[in-house]
């Protein structure tokens, strides 16, 4: 398991642990679980994912967890194949985690945003239950 896979496994494992009741999301258990997981992860940020990528922030908006990654290269240096590889890896990891998959079946979404070293938009995508095999 490479470092990226280990970090992704840790991110999804955080969804499995801790309290899942948030005052503003009490009436929606899925939103409460997303908010709780995000809260636990925020305390660990920033997290270096690999030699070119750092997870800078994560926020919860309703049933959506939004992850913001910063690349330490310029947008023009990112190979076009990289986008599909990232989406494939992150989608696979989300779909493999039983609790995350259940949350997605209940309406949770995971959004990933990437910016470059100059804070320019690089790419973003969402993972939903419909993306899973």
What are the pLDDT digits (tens) for 77-118?
989 898 899 999 999 999 999 999 999 999 999 999 999 999
List the domains of the chain with CATH numbers. 3-131 (3.30.300.250)
What are the pLDDT digits (tens) for 39-81?
999 989 999 998 889 999 999 999 999 999 999 999 999 898 9
Q: Which residue has the tokens 């636990």?
A: 40
Query: How far is the CA of 133 from the CAs of 25, 28, 110, 123, in angstroms?
Result: 29, 26, 16, 23
Q: Is 46 helix (H, G, I), strand (E, B) or coil?
A: coil
What is the pTM for the complete model shown?
A: 0.80
What's the pLDDT score for residue 27? 81
Is it the case that residue 16 has pLDDT exceeding 50?
no
Helices (H), 43-96: 80-96
- The rounded distance, in Å, linking the Cα atoms of 9 and 14 is 9
**What is the per-residue DSSP string for 62-78?**
TTEEEEEEEESS-GGGS
Name the residue among 13, 10, 32, 8 with its Cα closest to residue 22.
Answer: 32
Tokens representing residue 99 in the block: 């609790």
């Amino acid at each position: 398991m490479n470092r990226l896979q280990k970090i992704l496994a840790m991110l999804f494992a955080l969804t499995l642990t801790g309290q899942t009741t948030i005052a503003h999301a009490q009436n929606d258990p899925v939103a409460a679980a997303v908010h709780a997981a995000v809260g636990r992860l925020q305390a660990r940020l920033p997290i270096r994912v690999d030699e070119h990528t750092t997870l800078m922030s994560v926020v919860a908006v309703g049933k959506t967890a939004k992850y913001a990654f910063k690349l330490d290269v310029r947008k023009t240096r990112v190979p076009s194949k990289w986008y599909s590889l990232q989406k494939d890896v992150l989608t696979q990891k989300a779909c493999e985690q039983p609790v995350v998959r259940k949350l997605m079946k209940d309406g949770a979404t995971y959004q990933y945003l990437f910016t470059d070293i100059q804070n320019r938009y690089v790419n973003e995508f969402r993972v939903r239950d419909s993306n899973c095999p």
